[in-house]
Chains A and B, each alone.
With several copies, the nearest count.
Chain A
C-alpha cells in the first residue's frame, strides 16, 4: 500500500500500462515535457521516450483520429483531452469512428482506446474548463464510460480501461485530483472489482444516494451529516456510467424505497434522468416517492464566482434527501410541480 493522490494514482496506472504492454502509447497536448497541465503524465516521457508518450500538435480531432489509426495498427492508445470543454472538436471522431468501428467491421477491428478527460467544476477555472460532458458519451452506443472517485479506483480502473478491448472514456474528477488515498498497486488486476461494477460505499436504510466521480465524497459527507438527523443514507458510487451496473442500485432501492441521484452536469438528460427512469421501471412497486435529482442547473457552466451555486453541495444533497423522504424541512418545495 502506498499513499497516492488521485493524479499520482493515474500516473502510476499509466506507468504500469506502459511497462506491461509495448502497444500502449500516450497521445495528447503538453503531456510530454510538461507532464500535462495537471502533471498527470509527469516523468513518463522521460522514462518511456517520446515515441511512447507523444506530445501532439494542438488538434483534438486528430488526437482521436490518429489514435483510431494506431488502434487499427494494433496499438492501445491512451489519449488525453486537456480539459472537458476541449473534447468537442474530437466529438465526430469519437461518435462516428471510435464508437462504431468495431460494429462497422463486424468485429474485425478493435478500438481499445482510452480517452482520459479531466472533468467537472469546483476549481475556479475560466470558461470551458469545468464541463461535465459525460451524458453525451453515455448516450453513444459503442462506448464505455467510467469515472473513478478515489485514488485506488483511479489506478485500477485506468488499468482495466487500457486493458479493455472496447473504447473507454475515462472521466477524471479534477477537483479531487489532490485527494490522497491508500493504493494497492500490485494486486492482480483479475482479482479487482470489474470496472463495470458499481459499489455501495456507505450502507444505509432510509434513502439510496447515487453519485459518481467528483460528488461521491460530497455524498459521503452528506451521509455522515444526515446521521446527526437520524437519517440513514446508503451511498452508491456508480464507477461505471455506461453501462451502469444496476443490480446494487435496484437492491438498495428495494430496501430503502427512496432514491436521490446527484451529479454536476445539467439536469435535463443528465445521468440522473436515465437512472430515475430505469429505477422506476425496475422498482416501481417499491418506491415510496419519486426519485429525486440534485444536479447542476440547465445553464452553461457559469463564471467561477457563481459555481458554488451551480454545483450540488452537501446542503443541496441533504435537501434532496429531505424531498425523497417527504420531510417538511425540505427547502425547495420541488414537489409543488404543476
Chain B
C-alpha cells in the first residue's frame, strides 16, 4: 500500500511581480510601473497609514475576543498590504465581494468597524450596509462569493457601466467548484470582474501545496483569463496589479485573476491553534517579509516619515482602536423579535404566527426568569 501524494513532474514557475522588496527597496517592473506613476510620497504614506491602522484594529479585535467581547475573530495579520493595495485601487462604485477575512478592506471602504465586529460578536450577519459601502457582507461559504461577483459584473455589462466587481478569495477556495464555474462564466461573458486571491499559504491547517502543486494564478489562462502573481506583502505592487486588472475590466477587456502571495501570520481564527500544524521557522521567514516594515523602510528612505508623521499615525491607530473597543462593548444585544425579521420581504402568515406565539410565550414569563440555562456548550 503506497501513499497517495507524490511530487509532480514539471512544476511550472511564474514571475511574482514586485515593486518594493522586503528590504524596502523600490525595484522596477515592466508591467506594473506605469500603474503607479502617479503615486506620490503622500499617497504612499497613506497606504502605510492604512496598514498600520488596520493592524491595530486587528490586534484590538483579537484582544476583544480574548476578553470575551467577541465570539470569534479571523485575524488578517500579515495580509494588510494585499487588502489595502487592492481596495485602494478601486473606485467607490466598484463592488466588492469579500470573504470573512477582508476586515481591512471594509475599514478602507469606510465601514464603522464596531458594526463590522457585530458579526463576530454574534449580534448580526451584516457588518455594514452593502449598498452604502458597495461591498457585500462577509461570505463564509468558501468560494460562493466569486459567483456573486461574476453575476454582478454581468449586470454591469448589461447596464453599460464601465465599473467592475472584485471578488476576494483564499488559496483554499481555489479548489471549490464555485470558483471554477465563476471563471467559466466570467470568461464566457467577458464579465468585468477581478478575482483577487490572497494566497496566504494556509487554509486552516492545510498548506497551499495540498490544493495545488503549481501556482494558483496559472489556472486562469486555461479559461482565457490572464493570471498575475504579485507580491502580496508589497502594497504598491498590489495597488498596481489591481489597477492593471481594473483597467482591463473597465475597458471591456474582461476578467482577470490576481494571486497575491502573502502569509497568514496569525491563527486561522482565534479558535485555531496553528502550533499544531506549522513550525516557527516559516513564521520567522515571513516575518522578515512583513508588509508594514518594508513600507516603513521605504518611506524613511524617501524621507516621507519623520517622527511627527509617525506619531500622528500611531495616535490615529490608537484612537481608532479605542473608539472600536468602546463601540464594540456597547453594542446592544439584539431583541428576540430580530430573529424573525427580514426572513421575507412580503408577508408570511406562518412565520408571523410563530413570531407572535413566541413573543407571547416570552411575555408570559413576565419579570420572572426562565428556569433553564438554554445554551450550553463550548466556543467553536
Given contact pairs A65-B148, A69-B151, A302-B338, A59 touches B175 in the complex (Cβ within 8 A): yes
**Does B372 sit within 8 A of A, measured CB to CB?**
yes
CA–CA, A74 and B141, complex, Å: 23
Classify chain B: how many residues form its interface, as a range.
35 or more
- Whether A123 contacts B378 by the Cβ 8 Å rule is yes
Bound-state CA distance A144–B342 (Å) is 14
Residues of A within 8 A of B211 (CB): 57-58
Q: Are A30 and B204 in contact (CB under 8 A)?
A: yes
Q: What residue of chain B has the Cβ atom nearest to residue A120's Cβ?
A: B377
Report whether A124 and B360 are in contact in the complex, using a CB–CB cutoff of 8 Å. no
> A58, B176: Cβ atoms under 8 Å?
yes
Q: Are A129 and B380 in contact (CB under 8 A)?
A: yes
Chain A contact residues (Cβ within 8 angstroms of B): what range?
A: 35 or more
Contacts of A175 in B (CB 8 A): 375-378
Tell whether, in the assembled complex, residue B377 and residue A122 are in contact, meaning their CB atoms are under 8 Å apart: yes
Q: Which listed segment binds B: A182-190, A205-213, A306-314?
A: A306-314
- Pair A61/B177 contact, Cβ less than 8 Å: yes
> Chain B residues near A243 (CB, 8 Å)?
348-351
Asked if B123 is at the interface of the complex by the 8 Å CB criterion, the answer is yes
Report yes or no: A299 in contact with B351, Cβ–Cβ below 8 A: yes
**Cβ-based interface call for A248 (8 A):** no
A309 to B120, CA, bound (A): 19
B149 and A102 contact, CB distance less than 8 A: no
* A97 interfacial by beta-carbon distance below 8 Å: yes
The number of residue pairs between A and B whose CB atoms lie closer than 8 Å in the complex comes to 314
Known contacts A319-B361, A332-B361; A128/B141 CB under 8 A: yes
Give A32 to B276 CA distance when docked, in angstroms.
11
Chain B 131-149: CB-based contact to A (< 8 A → 1; otherwise 0): 1000011001110100111
How far does the alpha carbon of A126 sit from the alpha carbon of B116 in the complex, in Å? 13
Of the candidates A35, A51, A129, the one whose C-beta lies within 8 Å of that of B1 is: A51
Q: Given contacts A50-B4, A166-B346, are A62 and B147 in contact (CB under 8 A)?
A: yes
B34 at interface (Cβ–Cβ under 8 A)? no
Given A166-B345, A175-B377, decide whether A34 and B205 contact each other with a Cβ distance below 8 A.
yes
Given contacts A34-B204, A69-B165, A178-B378, are A267 and B153 in contact (CB under 8 A)? no
Contacts of A89 in B (CB 8 A): 141, 176-178
Minimum distance in angstroms from A181 CB to a CB of chain B: 15
Tell me the nearest residue of chain B to A42, going by C-beta. B276
Instruction: Decide: B340 and A73 in contact? CB cutoff 8 A.
Output: no
- B183 to chain A: closest CB distance in Å? 10
B351 contacts across to A, CB distance below 8 A: 141, 243, 297-299
Measured CA separation A225–B371 after assembly (Å): 10
| Interface flag for A290 (CB, 8 Å) | no
Interface check B336, CB cutoff 8 A: yes
- Find the B residue at minimum CB distance from A25: B158
Evaluate whether A72 and B136 lie within 8 angstroms (CB atoms) in the complex, with A122-B376, A164-B346, A302-B339 already known: yes
- Between B120, B159, B176, the greatest number of chain A beta carbons within 10 A of the residue's beta carbon is seen for B176
Bound CA–CA A35/B184 (angstroms): 22
B167 to chain A, nearest CB (A): 9
A-B contact pairs, 14 of them (CB 8 A): A50-B4, A57-B210, A58-B176, A59-B185, A69-B154, A102-B343, A106-B126, A106-B342, A129-B380, A297-B355, A307-B375, A308-B375, A309-B339, A310-B339
Identify the 3 closest CB pairs spanning chains A and B, nearest first: A69-B151, A65-B147, A66-B151
Given A297-B339, A309-B339: 14 more A-B contacts, CB < 8 Å: A49-B3, A65-B151, A66-B147, A67-B151, A69-B153, A93-B147, A122-B376, A129-B140, A141-B343, A166-B345, A218-B372, A297-B351, A305-B123, A305-B333
